[in-house]
Amino acid sequence: MNHMRTIVAGNWKMNTDLASAEALVEGLVKEAAAFPEGVEVVIAPPFPFLEMAVKRCTGARIIVAAQNCHHHEKGAYTGEVSAVMLKSIGVKACIVGHSERRQYSGESDKLIGEKAAALLAQGLTPIFCCGEQKEEREGGHHFDVVTEQMKGALGRFSNPELERIVIAYEPVWAIGTGLTASKEQAQEMHAHIRALLHTHGASVAERVPILYGGSCNPGNAEGLFAQADVNGGLIGGASLVVEQFLELVRIAGAAQVGSRQ
Ligand code: 13P
């Protein structure tokens, strides 16, 4: 891992109820004072629990993110949640372009870019997800797929805007399957993404953290987080278990210290 920001983010997806969400937040808040220096810890609970999480995390080193938002500020969009609303309750970041939303809600790169723009307009950090499907990797198209996703969603942004985005590479075949990208596969894709960022200038490439996601857990994180272009993880299943998530935070801290020696 290089010297840029290190982030461990938990995407809770459609899991927990109020009681278990409170317990999960409390379990993390209790340990927050002991989080390693330089590791940013992010949790993305479901919408109904965001305000509770923001309140409980105030003063603790935990940033609260949403899992999705609408691309308009307000209006007749029944059931939707805007970046303005998220900002108003103290949410600081939001996942956009997760493969589950691409797959089940038909989100296009263009729409994902519009969501990221809505977030940036409110001063929130978009956590932009990209990643290829199994067949695309088997066909050798994985680099092209990720290039297209990046260009389609992020091509509209200026360099100062790009510098405020976090990228998560999540190969679809590794999400929730127990199959993880090897550390070599992760590093080569992260290096590819870094090179794409570099076409916008060195400062963009140097500032944008690139997280790995897909069956990342305490058993495989050490190798992944030690890669030069892996700046932490976007964690699904293991973020729902306090001890596992805390262990991932610890591993990210150790990897960061290792890279400085
Ligand atoms: P898992 O860690 O459960 O594979 O999920 C990864 C993910 O999709 C995080 O956004």
Q: Where are the domains of the chain?
A: 6-260
- The correct CATH number of 6-260 out of 3.30.930.10, 3.20.20.70, 3.30.870.10, 3.90.1300.10 is 3.20.20.70
Q: pLDDT at position 261, please?
A: 58
Evaluate: CB of 235 within 6 angstroms of ligand 1.
Answer: yes
Q: Which residue owns the Cα nearest ligand 1 atom 2?
A: 236
Q: pLDDT at position 260, please?
A: 62
Evaluate: CB of 42 within 6 angstroms of ligand 1.
Answer: no
| Mean pLDDT rounded to a whole number for the chain | 96
pLDDT band at residue 2 under the 50/70/90 scheme: very low
Q: pLDDT at position 256, please?
A: 86
Residues marked active site are found at 98, 170
**Mean pLDDT along residues 107-126:** 98
pLDDT band at residue 1 under the 50/70/90 scheme: very low
Evaluate: CB of 213 within 6 angstroms of ligand 1.
Answer: yes
Give the distance from CA 162 to its chain's centroid. 15
- At residue 1's C-alpha, the angle toward residues 142 and 182, to 5°, is 40
**Mean pLDDT along residues 141-165:** 98
pTM of the predicted protein model: 0.97
Could you read off the pLDDT of 201-241 as tens digits, one per residue?
999 999 999 999 999 999 999 999 999 999 999 999 999 99
